[in-house]
Amino acid sequence: MNEFDKSVGIIGCGWLGTALAKRLLAKHYKVLTTTAHDSSAGKLNDQGINADKLVLPSPLTSEQFAQSRVFSQSQLVICLPPRLKLGQSDYPEKIKQIVAAAQLSGVKHIIMISSTAIYNGLSGKISEQHSLDFNADKVRVMYDAEQELLKFSGQANIIRLSGLIGPERHPGRFLSAKKTFSNPDGVVNLIHQQDAVGIIEALLLRSNEPKLNKAIYNGVSDTHVTRECFYQQAAKSLNLPAPQFIKAINSIEGEGAAMSKKILGNKMQNELGYRFIYNDLVTWLSR
């Protein structure tokens, strides 16, 4: 990889993007990040992370938008939250604008951070090849955004991350907000922040491999224990009372496990050769 290839722009530098920026800077990448607010950009700059304010969707023309400094980087990582819970539906338009600007400015590779929430409504073992259930509006919005990314003329990849945990996001924090939990037999699909960063870095290093172009990967650890087992351990690790789980009144034994999703990460591990730092998240909870 030459020095030009080691320039990376991170669009939407929040909790995950900041961890990625720090990892890349430690490995002597040139990193430029963006955030939607001046105050957030200021905090990033105070940490030694070069940051600009970037508003999306942009009111600028594609040509004007492409002049933003982030598009002078060789590779881009899009870490924008869809904000679907806030009622926003402009996620595909944001991705479309980024792709158009990236093409005008000569970006070589874009990695989009998506979510395994795109598998809403599915059950059983879920791979990247599964057909999606478009009955939920959020699935269509996320799918449309991914399709905009895949129109990029250069190399493009999508990482569908499962639930993110790690520093400042200990799963035990969910326990204080709820008294009881449902679906005790459903399995958890999670990934540690440092492994999410590691997968992104692995793809950045493979930017010149055509065989990986347009590939979609699930980012998920191999920890697929039941929700009851995982959150009881999470509570124990923080010295909190054990959470209480309830089953639906009309459920039958084993139905929860049968209807839950087990997100598979085999493709990512096989094609990228990535080896997890925290593949056993139950053990991580005990540290």
pLDDT band at 69 (very low <50, low <70, confident <90, very high): very high
How remote is the C-alpha of 222 from its chain's centroid?
16
**Closest by alpha carbon to 103, among 66, 49, 73, 128?**
66
What's domain 7-167+190-224+261-278's superfamily in CATH? Answer: NAD(P)-binding Rossmann-like Domain (3.40.50.720)
Least confident of 58-67, 83-92, 275-284: 83-92
Helix (H, G, I), strand (E, B) or coil at 210: helix
pLDDT band at 87 (very low <50, low <70, confident <90, very high): confident
Mean pLDDT of 71-93: 90
pLDDT of 179 > 70? The answer is no
* d(C-alpha 231, C-alpha 245), whole Å: 10
* d(C-alpha 110, C-alpha 207), whole Å: 9
pTM (two decimals): 0.93
pLDDT band at 251 (very low <50, low <70, confident <90, very high): very low
Mean pLDDT of 113-128: 96
pLDDT band at 245 (very low <50, low <70, confident <90, very high): confident
* d(C-alpha 121, C-alpha 10), whole Å: 31
Compute φ and ψ for 247, nearest 5 degrees. Answer: -105, 150
Spans of all domains in the chain = 7-167+190-224+261-278
> First CA to last CA across the chain, in angstroms?
36
* Residue-level pLDDT at 104: 97
Compute φ and ψ for 163, nearest 5 degrees. Answer: -60, 125
Look up tokens 């926003």; give the residue.
88
Query: Considering the chain, what is the average pLDDT of its residues?
Result: 91
pLDDT band at 199 (very low <50, low <70, confident <90, very high): very high
Mean pLDDT of 120-136: 95
Look up tokens 């459920």; give the residue.
251
Q: What is the DSSP string of 238-275?
A: TTPPPPEEE--TT--TTHHHHHSEEE--HHHHHHH---
